[in-house]
Structure 1
Amino acid sequence: MTIQNEIQNDRKKILRLLVEVHSQHITLNDNHSIGDNKNCKICQIFIQLNESDNILREKLKLIQEDKNFIQDFNNLRRSLGRLPQEKEYKNKIEVIERFGSWNNFLNKTQNYFNR
């Protein structure tokens, strides 16, 4: 199972918990909307689950961006017929910010496609 699949499964669990928490809140009928009252324990749980879901969504977004960088790199590699040099890659600044260095990115690229 890939990291992306694990994160998606965790997110599905959180979404199910959010539904359950929301239904529990409805049965209490405390005259406030879910997540509005910080003194309500169910609202606190809902807020924490929502924050966890936001973190997982951000991780999934970063994984997709990594895949896009790697795909762009491989398209360039195919068109050149060789490994591109750092200066030839249009997203080199984002890659270095994300992966720390050009070599880290090359290693990640090789690992990604050698699976």
Structure 2
Amino acid sequence: MDYVDITAATGTAAKASAEAQKALSAYPNPTNGQGLNVRLEAAARAATVELVNSLSQRVLSTSRNLRAGTNQFQLATDRVASGLYQLVVRGANQPLLVQRVVLN
């Protein structure tokens, strides 16, 4: 499985990071707990979007049918505890995109 962490910042990882940053963004970050807006550039496909805590536990998961191009949606985070999480996008036979997010 391919993995791209958009927080990487050195060497070849910096180039992959820049490409991934164009593909996935979450805002506001940090968020106030009301919701996390997600913007994702993708090919048409089914994907799973998850919030994963520092113990690698999935605390929020939703399935999305992405269309080719820009996809925007909101994740309700009002029932998720404050902390540092990873926003993870998984698609069948597609790279994994990850962005760190902070929920207040």
TM-score, shorter chain, exceeding 0.5: no
Larger Rg: 1
Specify the TM-score bucket, using the shorter chain as the normaliser.
under 0.3
The TM-score with structure 1 as length reference comes to 0.25
- Greater RCO between the two (CA within 8 Å, min separation 6)? 2
TM-score (norm 2): 0.27
Choose between structure 1 and 2: higher helix proportion.
1
Q: Pick the structure with more strand per residue.
A: 2
